[in-house]
Structure 1
Amino acid sequence: MGIADKAKNAAENLAGKAKEAVGDLTGNEKLENEGKADQVKAKAKDVGEDVKDKFTK
């Protein structure tokens, strides 16, 4: 997993957390759920890259 991929996934996770927080504060359930989904997607990408790295070593 390259540094750029890690940074991109971390940024996506952070953006998801921000969306979730804003959604929670404003009572916007849709935005809150989008934020949670973004976080899950970023985590899945991290796991996928980690697995790929294990097989390429």
Structure 2
Amino acid sequence: MNEDQVKGVGEKVKGKINEGIGKVTNDPVQEAKGDAQQVEGEARKNVGDAKEDLKDATDDTAKP
């Protein structure tokens, strides 16, 4: 797991928390902030996944 994957998952968790707080407090702005954080976190995780896949692919081609 690389840094982007970890930070992406962390951002998704923060987003879930903010979304939940927004729902409980009936605050649509807080809820939207949480949704946006989840999207951002998923995007960052996907970047990390792509980096990891590329690294794995280059490691496989470097082996005899």
Q: Shared fold by TM > 0.5?
A: yes
Whether the 8 Å contact between 2:4 and 2:47 is mirrored in structure 1 is no
1:51 to 1:7, Cα distance in 2 relative to 1, 3 A: closer
1:50 to 1:6, Cα distance in 2 relative to 1, 3 A: closer
Structure 2: 5+ residue stretches without partners: 58-64
Runs of 4+ residues deviating >6 angstroms = none
TM-score by length of 1: 0.79
The structure whose Rg is larger is 2
Structure 1: 5+ residue stretches without partners: none
What percentage of residue pairs aligned between the two structures are identical? Answer: 30
Equivalence for 1:48: 47
Whether the 8 Å contact between 2:18 and 2:31 is mirrored in structure 1 is yes
Question: What is the deviation of 1:8?
Answer: 2.1
